[in-house]
């Protein structure tokens, strides 16, 4: 037989426990309200009926007891004032009897009151006879009848005491019932409190085990990946960590895009390098022969002035072609780096010292922003200096013989390389148009009349071989910023 199980989601479990807790609270409140009404009714019955009847019965018995002795007092001194006092208590007794008759409802109570009323009438009649006998000086008959009247008095008093005792017992029973119901109410309240505590602990357990604990673990993991500041509040910590992850994801996506572009550029450079190498070797041999022949002609022949000018032009163009061929060969060969651990700041200082006179000739000033020298990194000093020199010379040529070049050094952390050194070379020239900026690192692309278009391509390859990357940011009319990023590998 297949076992039947009910799968509840976390949301359903929390809602279910909360619903049970709410039901217990509501039911407990309803029971308490009901018990308060019930207790109130018990005390109302006691006050409205039993206590009033008890008090009336007690007053009835008291007014009866107060009638005792007046006939004897009259017998002693024949003062009619005793009889007047007796009549006053008779009237009071009858009033109390009328009150009791109006309150009783049960048959036996009515029978008891009727019995008291009947016996009291007989009692009053007999006592009046006793008084008349005493008045007529028939003391023996009066004394005999007086004894019988006393017996009737005690019988009436006994019935009144029984009636009063009954209602006293009913009051005590009502109080006991009230205590009993109060105990039930306290028991129910205690059970409700225990149930609420248990369910509250269950809710806390569910939240801690199935909500807060996973959130805390997720926040710790996200914090480890996202690098956000920790917080005592799990939700806030998770929020901060997720924001950190989102930022890292954006940054990683940007770096991945940049790496993909770098890879495509490298593949294109490799293909063009092979083409340039083959072409350069094919051109270099006949070009060497032409240079040697021109050298021989220049030594053995005497040219006229026009011929000498033509010869000089031909020699200059041959030198230009030779420079292009050399650039081709340098571009086609991956740079052979001689890596050495040193600070890139040393290379920047060396490049600025090398270009000191040339910068003066361009009327360009430089400003170096360096809080402290960059940390040591594995690099080829000469190759990196060639890149920096190339970028600075291009900036000088772009600023039309005057301007300012700012070199800004800093260290930062970038995934996945972690710690990197960043060198920004910023000029205040005319900037680079968007269509030009997209092609600036492509080989053979140049905006100069006599340029080969290989300088920045070679610089790009050198930085790429260092494990870093070369970027440019520029807006037309707002200068250009070339950014060299090199990895700093901790030893």
* Residue whose C-alpha is closest to residue 392's, from 434, 421, 360, 420: 360
What pLDDT is recorded for position 484? Answer: 92
Q: Which residue has the tokens 């900037």?
A: 431
Domain range summary for the chain, segments of one domain joined by +: 10-205, 252-333, 336-491
Report the C-alpha gap between 164 and 160 in whole angstroms.
Answer: 6
What is the spatial distance between Cα 9 and Cα 463, in angstroms, rounded to a whole number?
Answer: 55
In this structure, are residues 215 and 235 in contact, taking their beta carbons and an 8 Å threshold? yes
Question: Which pLDDT belongs to residue 483?
Answer: 92
Burial group, residue 331, by CB count within 10 angstroms (0-12, 13-18, 19+): buried
User: Domain 336-491's class?
Assistant: alpha beta
Q: Which fold has domain 10-205?
A: 1.20.120
Whole-model pTM: value is 0.41
**Which residue, chain included where needed, has tokens 């922003």?**
369
What's the confidence (pLDDT) of residue 86? Answer: 79
Q: Do domains 10-205 and 336-491 have the same CATH topology?
A: no
Residue 141: CB partners within 8 Å, gap ≥ 6? 133
Residue 199 Rama label (left phi>0; alpha psi -120 to 50; beta): alpha
The per-residue pLDDT for 1 is: 47
pLDDT in tens, the chain (491 residues): 455 556 666 566 666 777 777 777 777 777 777 767 666 666 666 556 667 777 777 777 787 777 777 777 777 777 888 878 878 888 888 887 788 777 777 787 778 778 877 887 887 887 778 778 777 877 777 777 777 777 878 887 887 787 778 777 877 777 777 777 777 777 777 787 787 778 777 777 777 777 767 777 776 666 665 555 555 555 566 666 666 667 767 777 777 777 777 677 666 666 666 666 666 656 766 767 777 777 777 777 777 778 777 777 787 777 777 776 766 666 656 667 788 899 999 999 998 988 888 888 888 889 999 989 988 888 888 888 888 988 888 888 888 778 889 999 998 887 655 788 999 999 888 888 777 777 777 766 666 655 566 677 788 888 888 888 888 888 777 888 899 999 887 65
Q: Cβ distance 446 to 486 under 8 Å?
A: no
Torsions phi, psi for 304 (to 5 deg): -75, 170
63 close to 91: Cβ distance less than 8 angstroms = no
Rounded Cα distance between 20 and 26, Å, is: 10
CATH 1.10.357 is right for the domain spanning 252-333: no
């Amino acid at each position: 037989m297949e076992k039947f199980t009910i799968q509840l989601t976390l949301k359903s479990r929390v809602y279910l426990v909360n619903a049970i807790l709410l039901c217990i609270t509501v039911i407990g409140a309803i029971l308490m309200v009901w018990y308060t009404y019930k207790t109130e009714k018990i005390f109302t019955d006691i006050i409205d009926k039993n206590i009033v009847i008890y008090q009336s019965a007690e007053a009835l018995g008291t007014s009866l007891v107060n009638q005792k002795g007046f006939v004897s007092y009259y017998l002693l001194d024949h003062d009619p004032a005793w009889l007047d006092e007796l009549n006053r208590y008779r009237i009071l007794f009858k009033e109390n009897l009328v009150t009791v008759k109006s309150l009783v409802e049960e048959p036996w109570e009515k029978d008891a009151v009727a019995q008291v009323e009947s016996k009291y009438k007989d009692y009053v009649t007999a006592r009046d006879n006793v008084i008349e006998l005493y008045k007529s000086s028939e003391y023996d008959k009066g004394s005999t009848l007086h004894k019988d009247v006393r017996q009737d008095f005690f019988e009436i008093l006994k019935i009144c005491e029984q009636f009063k005792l009954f209602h006293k017992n009913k009051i005590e029973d009502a109080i006991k019932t009230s205590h009993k119901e109060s105990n039930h109410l306290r028991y129910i309240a205690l059970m409700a409190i225990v149930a609420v505590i248990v369910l509250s602990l269950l809710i806390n357990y569910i939240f801690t085990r199935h909500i807060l604990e996973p959130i805390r673990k997720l926040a710790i993991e996200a914090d480890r990946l996202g690098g956000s500041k920790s917080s005592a509040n799990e939700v806030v910590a998770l929020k901060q960590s997720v924001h950190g992850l989102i930022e890292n994801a954006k940054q990683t996506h940007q770096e991945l895009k940049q790496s993909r572009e770098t890879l495509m550029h490298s593949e294109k450079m490799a293909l063009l390098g092979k083409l340039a190498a083959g072409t350069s070797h094919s051109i270099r041999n006949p070009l060497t022969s032409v240079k040697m022949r021109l050298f021989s002609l220049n030594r053995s022949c005497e040219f006229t002035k026009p011929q000498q000018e033509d010869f000089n032009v031909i020699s200059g163009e041959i030198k230009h072609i030779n420079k292009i061929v050399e650039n081709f060969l340098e571009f086609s060969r991956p740079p052979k780096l001689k890596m050495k651990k040193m600070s890139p700041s040393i290379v920047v200082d060396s490049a600025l010292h090398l270009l000191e006179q040339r910068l003066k000739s361009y009327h360009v000033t430089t400003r170096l922003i360096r809080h402290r020298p960059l940390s040591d990194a594995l690099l080829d000093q000469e190759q990196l200096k060639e890149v920096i020199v190339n970028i600075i010379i291009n900036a000088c040529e772009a600023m039309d013989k005057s301007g300012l070049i700012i070199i800004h050094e800093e260290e930062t952390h970038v995934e996945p390389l972690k710690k990197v050194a960043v060198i920004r070379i910023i000029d205040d020239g005319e900037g680079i148009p968007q269509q030009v900026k997209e092609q600036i690192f492509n080989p053979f692309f140049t905006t100069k009349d006599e340029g080969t278009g290989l300088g920045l391509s070679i610089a790009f390859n050198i930085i790429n071989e260092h494990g870093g990357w070369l970027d440019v940011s520029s807006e037309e009319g707002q200068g250009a910023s070339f950014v060299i990023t090199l990895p700093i590998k901790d030893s």
